[in-house]
Amino acid sequence: MKAFKMAEGIEKFMKQKMWQNQQTKIKRMFKPTFIAKKYRSMTIYKKLSISFLAVAVISSVLISAVGVINLKNNNNMSQSIYSEDLVPLSPLYRIETDFLSMEFKVNSDDFFTNQAAISNYVTQLDAELSKYSKSVTDTNEKADLSQMVSDITDFQNQGNNALNYFSLGLV
């Protein structure tokens, strides 16, 4: 019996020793580092200040990242609006300018001397109208384009009729 109790004691001692060894290993694993020791020794005021500062820095970085992403999206959208909506309108502005210049030359007193400039404007108008007609996709724009072409053609016909009329010497 004594031997049994002794073996039981040894077993208990060994279990206790193993348990202590495991506890030491765990303690070594979670041994506080220099920063952890420093943090534990700080006052609550310092701990709260550091925590609030960390939250502020992290939120600033996140907000900045979202801002940069949105700026890139806005830039891409602006470029697509410019290339898809504004660039196709540039021939339209040139058409208007050429038409008004041609109209001014036709209505001036020196109609016969401005004839070369007028024919140049007609050539430019035709080129700009063909450029603009390639970029028109909407049905309303197509209707406006056909009306504009009709008006320009009528004006050119009136100019040609007037030129024929003056060249015949009927006036």
Q: Is residue 37 part of a domain?
A: no
Amino acid residing at 154: D
Q: Is residue 147 part of a domain?
A: yes
Q: What share of the chain is helix, strand, coil (3-state, %, to 5)?
A: 85, 0, 15
Q: Does 56 reside within a domain?
A: no
Looking at the domain assignment, is residue 151 inside a domain?
yes
Ramachandran assignment for 106, one of left (phi > 0), alpha (psi -120 to 50 degrees), beta (any other): alpha
Among residues 121, 120, 129, 131, the alpha carbon closest in space to that of 101 is found at 121
Residue 124 lies in a domain: yes
Q: Considering the domain boundaries, does residue 52 fall inside one?
A: no
Q: Which residue range is the domain that position 106 belongs to? A: 89-167
Q: What pTM, to 2 d.p., does this model score?
A: 0.43
Q: What angle do CA 72, 74, 79 make, to 5 degrees?
A: 95
- Domain count for the chain, please give it: 1
pLDDT tens string 161-170: 666 666 665 5
In which residue ranges of the chain is pLDDT below 70?
1-11, 13-14, 17, 19, 23, 25-32, 87-89, 108-114, 159-171
Asked if residue 18 is part of any domain, the answer here is no
- Which class for 118: exposed (0-12), middle (13-18), buried (19 or more C-beta within 10 A)? buried
Judge whether 118 lies within some domain.
yes
Q: CA 91 from chain center: how many Å?
A: 25
